[in-house]
Amino acid sequence: MKRRSILGAAALAALTTAFSPVTAVAESHSFTIALVPGLTTDAFYITMQKGAQAAADALGVELVFQGAPDFNPVTQVPVLDAVIARGPDAILIAPTDTVQLIEPLRKAYEAGIPVITVDTFIGSGVYQTGAGDADFPLAYIASDNVLGGRIAARALANAIGGEGKVYVSNVNPGISTTDQREAGFKAEMAENFPGVEVLETQFNENDANNAASQLQAVFARNPDLKGVFGANLFSALGAANGVQQAGQSGVIKVVAFDAPTSIVDNINSGLVDVAIAQHPAEIGYYGVVSAYAHLTGNSIPVSIGTGFTIIDASNVSDPDVAKYIYSD
């Protein structure tokens, strides 16, 4: 009897060792996952980091957040090199250029470090095809940016009554997300809003001050300007500031991609008509979960799409909507 109960205790201990969540956490503590954002001081990536940290805490892995101070391949590549040198178990990265990050990321791949791109992609963004070019990342986790551009076009066309001149305030060519937003915006206008004239895109290098000056210069050349689409947080913030500085608040309509905390005031004051909030926390969360699944021998989807929340004056104070406003 005594012997049986000793055996029973041993069997129970073995079972506990095999299935206890505490044990699973202790074992997986050996994984370190690096998240390299487009830049560190952007509310979009700060919110992504929070989502990634939530997943890391749940899974008991270490998350390292290391990025450059600006959105630029020239500053991102040395950060990536330093991350590779640390030898993390996996790298999640928002590459700042579709072409210029291919070879730097190939170094990680060749060192045996799995790569998942979040938010932005390299190459065509279609991975694991066997093409052998830029298809080596395991997965791409992001918003549908073409769709986001189409949503922006519909919102802006409706805000201006379907007629008049608009333009896109954008970052730089060569960034997958913002290129796709512009492409979606222009395609939607061309297909469904023949009365809207899309002027030449203004590239601001992710500098809100540039975007504000450009708004005023475009307005000076086109006093009948009706609207602007800010294709990311800094483009939208800058374009909206430019509209305000030109004394055109509520007259030149602004549709903003991204939703920093300042968007609430800008929507309430009528400066911004619509903001398209991405779900960066989801991107971070599923980035870490995907890396963990791969590291523990599970297969993962090659692409995961996250959603949008469309914010305007009618819903900005609804807590179910406001929860998608980014963290500072």
Write out the residues near ligand T6T by the rule CB under 6 A: 38, 42, 44-45, 119-120, 177, 232-234, 257-258, 278
Closest distance between ligand T6T and the C-beta of residue 280, in Å? 8
Q: Please state, in angstroms and rounded to a whole number, the distance separating the CA atoms of residues 137 and 31.
A: 19
How large is the C-alpha radius of gyration of the chain?
23
Cα distances (angstroms) measured from residue 48 to each of 141, 150, 159, 294: 11, 23, 30, 20
CB of 185 to ligand T6T, least distance (A): 14
- Residue among 111, 125, 115, 126 nearest 294 (CA): 115
d(CA 39, CA 24): 33
- Closest to ligand T6T by CB, 89 or 258: 258
Cβ-based nearer residue to ligand T6T, 119 or 282: 119
Nearer to ligand T6T, 72 or 158 (CB): 72
Question: Collapsing DSSP states into helix, strand and coil, what is residue 64?
Answer: strand
- DSSP E strand boundaries for 221-302: 225-230, 253-257, 274-278
- Looking at the Cβ atoms of 43 and 215, the one nearer to ligand T6T is 43
CA 164 to chain centre: 30
Least distance CB 281 / ligand T6T (angstroms): 13
Minimum distance between the CB of residue 142 and ligand T6T, rounded to whole angstroms?
Answer: 8
Helix (H) or strand (E) holding 3: helix 2-19
Contact 274, 255 (CB under 8 A): yes
Considering the complex, what minimum distance in angstroms separates the CB of residue 265 from ligand T6T? 18
Q: In the complex with ligand T6T, which residue's Cβ is closer, 38 or 287?
A: 38
